[in-house]
Structure 1
Amino acid sequence: MGRTVAVVGGGYGGAAVAKALDADADAGIEVVLVEPKDAFVHAAGSLRALVQPEWAENIFFPYDRLLARGRVVRGRAAGVDAGGVTLADGRRVEADYVVLATGSDYPFPAKADTDDAADALDQLRAAHKELSGAARVLITGAGPVGLELAGEIAAVWPGKRITVVDPAEEIMPSFTPELRAELHRQLDGLGVELRLGTALADPPPVPAGRADAFTVATTGGGEIGADIWFRCHGVRVNGGFLAGSLTPDAMTRQGQVRVTGTLQVRGYDNLYALGDLTDLAEAKMAGYAMKHAAVVAENVLAQVRGDRPGAVYRPSPVPSILLPLGPGGGVGQFPPESPGAAPALLPASTVAAYKGADLFVGRFAELFGTGTATATATEAGAATEAGTETEAGTA
């Protein structure tokens, strides 16, 4: 068959689809993974890495053992067409099929702003040093990222005063009242102060992640004093390189890619997209991106074998999440087992056992060949099925 598949982006979904296609030796596919970073960064563990720098190396996984037959091309995509991928340095990767999996960017510490793992590790260690000496911590954004960060900080430094600010009137509004009530209960127990329904009148006068005492006014007329702050909102889709590459109908105004139920790019037969880059009406979560990967892999394999792509992805109408609040706390919600039933709520002990204890690091060590065995993309996807929202980690 001798077909080439270029996967653009080696995050959660990209790594998973590349692994799945590469593992099918009978299909005769050459997988080329195009990725600017020198290592996969398990973003769901980045907040733990901030507060526990001795553990931080666990979230970095080199790509050199991901593929058994394919290859990894380190570089940044500058354009895509029906025949392959053009890189920013002018190199060209010819391909019969292209999978777009470039995900999104997010403020540090949830995601680093460097392609070099050593630099990213240095950033985490430097920020830890700044944070360790700060008595008062301000977090802007009470979504999963901000709340998880608050929980990680409180677990390591229970004496710090942590304030989380968000203009929304309620936390996690798309989830059940029972989950929100449990979140409030645990956050109160950790001493985390929620300032909802308000925002900062102006950005703090010091850079995020830098320890320096300051006071900021809020839109409600009050003030907040802190010694360090972190921004936990503001996801940015990495689709800018597609400008001029795809037809206008294939892109939204927000820069996302329109996909069909089979996750093919609208108007294209041999282009696929997954993860944060897509316009799918669901939360942007690592677990969902890996579910997308399974559908894309099945459909590409079908096309390579001369069949029509038949796997269809259907977003769940009920959101799922596993939100740790430190290694021993957190909340979780799964879709109901039967239509019309209430979502399944998970206690802190289950969240800790399933995710909070190691944040799935062991599963990804297996996936990337640094563990004792090699996990399939499906197994790793199951590990993150209700995992960290990619605004807290990544797709």
Structure 2
Amino acid sequence: MSPKVVIVGGGYGGSAAAKALDAVADVTLVEPKDAFLHNVGALRAAVDSDFAPQIFLPYDHLLSRGRVVRDRAVRVEPGTVSLASGKALDADYIVLATGSSYPFPAKSDLDDSSASLEKFGATQKQLTAADKVLLLGAGPVGLEFAGEIKARWPQKQVVIIDPAPSILSGYSDAFREEILRQLDQLGVELLLGDSLAQEPPTEVGTAGAFDVTTRSGAEVSAQVWFRAYGVTPASAYLAGSLAPARLDSGRVEVLPSLQVKGQTTVFALGDITDVAEPKRAGAAMQHAEVIAGNITALIGGGKELTSYEPGPAAILLPLGPTGGATELPGGELLGPEVTAQYKGADLMVGRFSETFGLSG
């Protein structure tokens, strides 16, 4: 009998861990969505109705031996994963990979891919109807969204407001200056070191003219607005001896081995961990590789586990299909042409289609 591994969450890290462990364990991947949502492409899906269907990748061919259970974990403790359906899954090993929520359209809170696709389509229509767009938040999401909007509708005005005095702190001056240069070239207006006195009177993502005032007194008029900040780790289901590992922030304390603090058979990866690094899909997949190796070692009777080492700051930030910049580990700067080759052209849809057995 193969050891039972239950992976909670089928995002980037959870899917990668499930695929890596499929040959050595009896894997069950628990995921409420009916298809993997390739969030890397979500912002382009919000502006391009032809691109949107490509970011939904069915789980049908992800695993050869294991299974994907469409359900939601409501209580997880060592050895048991209890589901919303009332079922309980026994587990020799558990991997917590539930990620985080984030305002639409960067992430979708809908489990049905058809309903989610309709929401992306509705957003595209609302953006089409607006001459001026207000984005709250000048982090990577807000900047990338601005780039996608301007690439689709060059004449549309885009304003970004953020209370931070500068963009992308933690990265090199050269990278930040290159992004600022391209934003200026696109005509994106940045109001940094400022915030709204109160939110717009219209519903987020719904077209309708409004006027707002910032705390510094600047007046802004727009026809639609979006929130581009607010990560919330999804970890409320932790129970029993796992509960103490959940911090006030919602993140989960992990050891260098990515075992949950105080546990030997429960691991965590991605956005829910307290690993001090930017929360990116690439990091979650690196976590998955370490965890898969460690569980494989434990299954084989090994006691020496691999530690995860966060790498130096790196970021690949597209500004539409042909714009953006990349900062590699170590600080090397790559311009828009190379950034487009790596990520901009199809936002890695082809790569992940292969991962999910959907190409060829």
| TM-score bracket relative to the smaller structure | over 0.9
TM-score by length of 1: 0.90
Q: Which residue of 1 aligns with 2:70?
A: 74
Kindly indicate whether residue 124 of structure 2 is the aligned counterpart of residue 128 of structure 1. Answer: yes
The 5 A counterparts of 1:293-308 are 293-308=288-303
Moved more, 5-14 or 83-92: 83-92
| Distance in 1 of aligned mates of 2:94 and 2:359 | 29
The Cα of 1:236 is off from its aligned counterpart by 0.6
Q: Distance between the aligned counterparts of 2:85 and 2:132, measured in 1?
A: 45
Deviations 1:275-316, CA, capped at 9 Å, x for gaps: 001000001000000000000000000011111242110112
Separation in structure 2 between the aligned mates of residue 50 and residue 227 of structure 1, nearest angstrom? 16
Confirm whether residue 335 of structure 1 aligns to residue 329 of structure 2.
Answer: yes
Amino acid at match of 1:360: M
> Which of 156, 159, 163 is 1:160 aligned to?
156
Amino acid at match of 1:302: A
Pairing 1:59–2:55 present:
yes
State yes or no: 1:310 paired with 2:310. no
- Give distance in 2, aligned partners of 1:244 and 1:224: 49
Q: 1:1-395 to 2 correspondence within 5 Å?
A: 1-22=1-22, 24=23, 27=24, 29-244=25-240, 246-248=242-244, 250-316=245-311, 318-336=312-330, 343-372=331-360
**Match for 1:364: what amino acid?**
F
Contact 1:300–1:309 (CA<8 Å) still a contact in 2? no
Cα distance between partner residues in 1 of 2:256 and 2:188: 42
Amino acid in the other structure paired with 1:14:
G
SS in 2 for 1:51: coil
Distance 2:68 2:191 in 1: 45
Counterpart of 1:320 in structure 2: which amino acid? A
1:378 is matched with which residue? none
Contact preservation (8 Å) 2:232, 2:250: no
Give CA deviations for 1:168-223 in whole Å, capped at 9, x if unaligned: 00000111011111111100000000000100110110111100000011111121
Q: Secondary structure at the match of 2:46?
A: helix
Q: Which amino acid is the alignment partner of residue 13 of structure 1?
A: G
Cα gap change, 1:6 to 1:221, in 2 (>3 Å): same
Distance 1:83 1:138 in 2: 47
- Tell me the number of residue pairs that the alignment of Structure 1 and Structure 2 aligns: 360
Secondary structure of 1:45 counterpart: helix
TM-score (norm: length of structure 2)? 0.98
How far apart in 1 are the matches of 2:76 and 2:231? 23
Per-residue CA deviation, residues 352-381 of structure 1 (Å, 9 max, x unaligned), is 111111100000000001111xxxxxxxxx
Distance (whole Å) between structure 2 residues aligned to residue 103 and residue 306 of structure 1: 30
For 1:84 and 1:162, how far apart are their aligned partners in 2?
Answer: 48
User: Offset of 1:247 from its aligned partner?
Assistant: 4.2
Q: Tell me if structure 2 keeps the 8 A contact 1:320–1:333.
A: yes
Contact 2:235/2:246 (CA < 8 Å) preserved in 1?
Answer: no
Counterpart Cα distance in 1 of 2:35 and 2:276: 30
Structure 1, unaligned runs of 5 or more: 337-342, 373-395
Asked whether the equivalents of residues 298 and 309 of structure 1 are also in contact (C-alpha less than 8 Å), the reply is no
Q: How far does the alpha carbon of each residue in 1:144-165 deviate from its partner, in whole angstroms, 9 at most, with x for none?
A: 0000000000001000010000
Instruction: Give the Cα–Cα distance (whole angstroms) in 2 for the partners of residues 284 and 8 of structure 1.
Output: 18
Q: Which runs of 5+ in 2 are unaligned?
A: none
* Secondary structure class of the residue paired with 1:351: helix
Shift of 1:89: 2.4
Runs of 4+ in 1 over 2 A off after TM superposition: none
Q: Which residue of 2 aligns with 1:340?
A: none
SS of residue matched to 1:142: coil
